[in-house]
Amino acid sequence: MYTATPSRYDDMIYNQCGKSGLKLPAISLGLWQNFGADTSQAKVKEKIFRAFDLGITHFDLANNYGPPPGSAEAAMGTILNSELNRYRDELIISTKAGYDMWPGPYGDGGSRKYLISSLDQSLKRLNLDYVDIFYHHRYDPNTPLEETMAALDAIVRQGKALYIGLSNYGPKETKQAATILKQLGTPCVVNQPSYSMLNRWIEGGLQDVLAEEGIGTVAFAPLAMGLLTSKYLHAIPEGSRAAKNDWFKANVTEEQVGKVKELHKIAENRRQTMAQFALAWVLREGSVTSALIGASSIEQIEENVAALNNLSFSREELHAIDSIVGSDK
């Protein structure tokens, strides 16, 4: 039987999530890949337990995480129903709905029908009565925003989620959604956008909206899906994400790899790995509440958490980074 280490909270940084009372670890663990049915339950447990021992209390899921869809929630549910059961009140479990999940007209989007049905399914897979954060996974232009936000408000009032979040929402939609939710009495506490040194789109307006509205930020893909590591410095390794995914392979261009090689020199001068350097940059100014990592091994989790040992950047370093990647928003 797993027993969490007593020192698990000694070194992790916990940041206030916007203007809410919720605190999130600076590093959160996402279960998008490497936690589905194609990974043994023993390895899933090994990674989750090690993450918790390092102070990671936030585990991020979605209805379609796997593969196949739903299997990551099911795997986490098995653990929550056994070894982690006694630690439930120490954990932040989040899930999402918004993308295609089942056949027919009610299996994706932002309708009340879809969101409530999907969360009910997620709760069964997770063996939980409620999740801590429930996100709408994407803005749905085919559903009135008022309906989507009213569904999220109802979910909180029904006791199925403690907090509401948005993901993949732009500045305009985030502002509109936040206004509606405040009027309903269930404020949005967190937004989950993609953000990395190579993908700085949120600096073009979304960060300003989140600051104005008092909404926290959980950044996904802070390592640009592995590009901001040492993995692709010389070639595309066999078995890597780029080797298996044509869409991602198209992004591993000579130009991008050239940028990463230059960034790697700065990381070495800071005595950080490329991954640690990239995570530290995302967390550098405190505007990002938590950086969301994935992991295929406990070694990756340990390496990423060690990024918190140095989050400070000199002006010269920041200027050098901007010169390499470009600072256009």
Partners of 15 in the β-ladder: 24
Mean pLDDT of 78-104: 97
Given a cut of 80, whether residue 75 has pLDDT beyond it is yes
**pLDDT score recorded for residue 239:** 62
3-class SS letters over 251-316: CCCHHHHHHHHHHHHHHHHCCCCHHHHHHHHHCCCCCCCEEEECCCCHHHHHHHHHHHHCCCCCHH
Q: Say if CB 18 and CB 49 are below 8 A apart.
A: no
Q: Which of 234-238, 286-290, 319-323 has the lowest mean pLDDT?
A: 234-238
Q: What percent of the chain has pLDDT over 90?
A: 88
For 30, 73, 95, 107, 141, the CA distances from 64, given in Å and listed in that order, are: 13, 9, 10, 11, 20
- According to DSSP H, which parts of the chain are helical? 41-53, 71-80, 112-126, 145-157, 171-184, 206-213, 241-244, 246-249, 254-269, 274-282, 298-305, 315-325
**pLDDT score recorded for residue 245:** 65
Q: What percent of the chain has pLDDT over 70?
A: 94
Kind and range of the H or E run holding 132: strand 131-136
Q: Which of 5-14, 35-44, 185-194 has the lowest mean pLDDT?
A: 35-44
CB atoms closer than 10 angstroms to residue 247: 9
Given a cut of 70, whether residue 247 has pLDDT beyond it is no
**pLDDT score recorded for residue 248:** 62
**pLDDT score recorded for residue 244:** 59
Mean pLDDT of 5-24: 98
Class for the domain spanning 14-224+281-311: alpha beta
* Strand 290-293 versus strand 27-30 pairing type: parallel
Confidence of residue 197 (pLDDT cuts 50, 70, 90): very high
**pLDDT score recorded for residue 240:** 62
Given a cut of 50, whether residue 17 has pLDDT beyond it is yes
Q: What is the pLDDT of residues 257-306, one digit of tens each?
A: 899 999 999 999 999 999 999 999 999 999 999 999 999 999 999 999 99
For the whole model, what pTM was predicted?
Answer: 0.95
CA atoms of 151 and 146, how far apart (whole Å): 9
**Average pLDDT of the chain, as a whole number:** 94
CA atoms of 212 and 88, how far apart (whole Å): 32
* Strand 161-167 versus strand 188-192 pairing type: parallel
**pLDDT score recorded for residue 329:** 47
**pLDDT score recorded for residue 232:** 76
Confidence of residue 236 (pLDDT cuts 50, 70, 90): low
**pLDDT score recorded for residue 27:** 98
- Which three-class secondary structure state does DSSP give residue 99? coil
CA atoms of 11 and 305, how far apart (whole Å): 10
Give the pair of three-digit tokens for residue 135.
């996100």
CA atoms of 174 and 168, how far apart (whole Å): 9
Sequence-distant (6+) residues with CB within 8 A of 20 are 163, 187, 189, 214, 216
**pLDDT score recorded for residue 253:** 81
| 226 φ/ψ sector (left φ>0, alpha ψ -120 to 50, else beta) | left
Domain assignments of the chain as residue spans, ordered by start: 14-224+281-311
Residue, of 232 and 153, whose pLDDT is higher: 153
**pLDDT score recorded for residue 235:** 65
- DSSP 8-class letter at 36: S
Q: What is the pLDDT of residues 213-228, one digit of tens each?
A: 999 999 999 999 889 9
CB atoms closer than 10 angstroms to residue 89: 5
